[in-house]
Amino acid sequence: MPKDNHINYIEFKAKDLEKIKEFYIKSFNWTFTDYGPTYTAFSESGLEGGFEKTENNVVNGALVVLYHNNLDLIMKKVIASNGEISKDIFTFPGGRRFHFMDPAGNELAVWSDK
C-alpha cells in the first residue's frame, strides 16, 4: 500500500514509445505495460513509472507523482501552502490525480486509488 505524502511514481514524456521501451528493455531490463497508444508504464526499475506520448520537444520531462489517500484534503493543503493547481482532479485507469506547481515553479502530481 502506498504511503501518504511519499514519492510513488515518476512519469516521463517521449515522442516514440516503442523506441523508448526498446531502449530501457535492452539497457536496464525494465518491463512495460501498455495502456493504449499514448501511455506505457514501467516496472523493475526501483521505482515504478511511465512514459506519456507527446508531440512536443521534451524539456525537463520528468513528472514526480506523490501518493495521498485523500485527494481533496491534500489539494486544499497544497493551495493553502501557496501551491497552484495546474491540472484539476481527473480520473485515469487505476485512480485519480491532480497536478500542482510548487512556489519555485516545479510541477508535480498527487494521485490516489480512492
Give the per-residue pLDDT at 100.
93
Phi, psi of 52 (to 5 degrees): -105, 130
Q: Which three cell numbers stand for residue 32?
A: 512495460
pLDDT digits (tens, 9 = 90+) for 47-80: 999 999 999 888 778 899 999 999 999 999 999 9
Domain with CATH 3.10.180.10 in the chain: 1-61, 68-114
Give the per-residue pLDDT at 32.
97
Give the per-residue pLDDT at 84.
94
Give the per-residue pLDDT at 61.
81
Residue type for 45, please? S
Give the per-residue pLDDT at 28.
86
pTM given for the model? 0.79
1-61 maps to CATH 3.10.180.10: yes
Nearest C-alpha neighbor of 100 from the set 90, 110, 92, 91: 110
For the domain 68-114, what is the CATH superfamily, name and number?
2,3-Dihydroxybiphenyl 1,2-Dioxygenase, domain 1 (3.10.180.10)
Mean pLDDT for back-to-back runs of 10 residues, the chain (114 residues): 89 93 92 96 92 88 92 95 95 94 88 94
- Secondary structure percentages of the chain, helix, strand, coil, to 5: 20, 45, 40
